[in-house]
Amino acid sequence: MKGFFRAILDAWSGNSPSAQRMDVHDLHAALQSNPDLVVVDVRTAVEYAAGHVPNAINVPLARINNAPELAELTDQTVHLICLSGARSGRAQGFLASNPFTTINITGGTSAWRRAGYPLVE
């Protein structure tokens, strides 16, 4: 029964066994070696302004399917982040039918903050 509920939660959040994920430590290392890495923060503008991963652009989940900022990113891997990983997982699900390669950052900015990595305000 527990597996059933996990499957429902994964489907609702956009997570699937085949969805690509990365933790904040791997994201931090990737940003250190490639500062031009594409990170899209899908939280609201208010949440984003309160602190976000360096170089992340803000495209709130409500606009993810209609965001002109994303049109130029189809040839790049898009790292999706939110507060905990749930909204970015949903964004990953929404973008799956588009020509994007996406990676959901598990734990989100909460895990980033707990790890002691810098946030930009």
Per-residue confidence in pLDDT tens, the chain, 121 aa:
444 334 334 444 444 545 899 999 999 999 999 999 999 999 999 999 999 999 999 999 999 988 998 988 888 999 999 999 999 999 999 998 778 899 999 999 999 999 999 999 9
pTM of structure? 0.85
Query: Are 55 and 112 contacting, i.e. CB atoms less than 8 angstroms apart?
Result: no
pLDDT at residue number 3: 44
Q: What is the side-by-side strand order in the sheet with 101-106?
A: 21-23, 101-106, 77-81, 38-41, 57-58
At residue 52, φ and ψ (nearest 5 deg) are -140, 165
Write the class of the CATH domain 2-114: alpha beta
Query: Are 88 and 104 contacting, i.e. CB atoms less than 8 angstroms apart?
Result: yes
Could you tell me which of 53, 8, 2 has the C-alpha nearest to residue 28? 53
pLDDT at residue number 16: 52
